[in-house]
Structure 1
C-alpha cells in the first residue's frame, strides 16, 4: 500500500494554554514535513476538539483560537468514523497522532482507551500521543500507558514540556517508522 493518511488530533480546550498549543502545533508541523518528505501520496486529516470534535482545514487547525471543556473521546470517535467512511484499511496506511495536556473528564478517559484499543488500533499502523504540559499526569496518561504496555509496536507516547524537547521526542516516537521509510 503506497497511500497513507495521518490523523492529527489536537486538544484546543480551555486547559490548553497558548504555550501548550504552540508546543502541539510545532510537533504537528514537524510531523507534517516528515510525512510530505516520505510519502508520494499522503493525506492529512486535521481534527480539533474541546467538548466536541470537528474536522478542519490546515489553516483552522494551526491558527483558530477555539476553547472550551474537554471530551477527548469526541475526537477519537470522529477519527474512527472518518476512517470507516473514507479510508478502507486494505487501501491505506493509516496513522494517528494526538496532542493534549491530558486534562479530560475522568469518566471519558476509560472510554478513550477502549476506543483506541478496540476500534482504532486494529485499523492503524501506528498511534502516537504527546502530552504537552509541565505538571503531573492526569487519568488519560494512565489509561494510555496501559495501551502502550499491551501494544508497544503500535502505540507510543511521550511528554513535551518545552520547545527544545520536540525534535528529540519526535525522533524517539517515530524512530522505527523513520528507519522503515
Structure 2
C-alpha cells in the first residue's frame, strides 16, 4: 500500500497561494473569506497557480477594504491590457464585517493579513485574518510546541507499529 493522497479541506477549493509566515508571525484571532475585484489577466495568472502573499496586508480606507502588496505576476500572453503585479485590489466584504475589522485593526498591535488565496466554485477568494503580532519568545514557544507534538506523534506511531508486528507473530 502506497501513501494516501491528501484530500483538500473543502471540495471545489483549489489553493493558489498560502502565507505560512503569517501564522508564524501572528496570533490569528478571527478569519474571514472574501472575494476580490480582479481583471481578466489577473484571474488567468492565478489559474496558472502564480501568486505570492508574503508581504500582503489589508487596509480599510473610506469604508472599503483594500488588499496591498500581493504579488500576482503579469499574464504571459497578456497584451496592453495586462495588469500591474502589485496593485491594490478591492476586497468584497459585508459592511458589518468591514466595520468590525476596522474597529479591531485600530487597536494597538492588531493588523489584517491575507492567509490564503484560492478558487472556490470558480471564483477567486482570499482568506484574511485579524491578527496580533507575536513577540520573539512566543515564536520560539510555538516552534517548541510544534516539535514536541511531532515527536509525540512519532513515538505513538512507532509504538503502534511494534504492537501490530507483535500481534502478527
Fold equivalence (TM over 0.5): no
TM-score with structure 1 length normalisation? Answer: 0.23
Higher relative contact order (CA 8 A, sep 6+): 2
Higher helix share: 1
Structure 1 or 2, whichever has the larger Rg, is 2
TM-score by length of 2: 0.24
Larger strand fraction of residues = 2
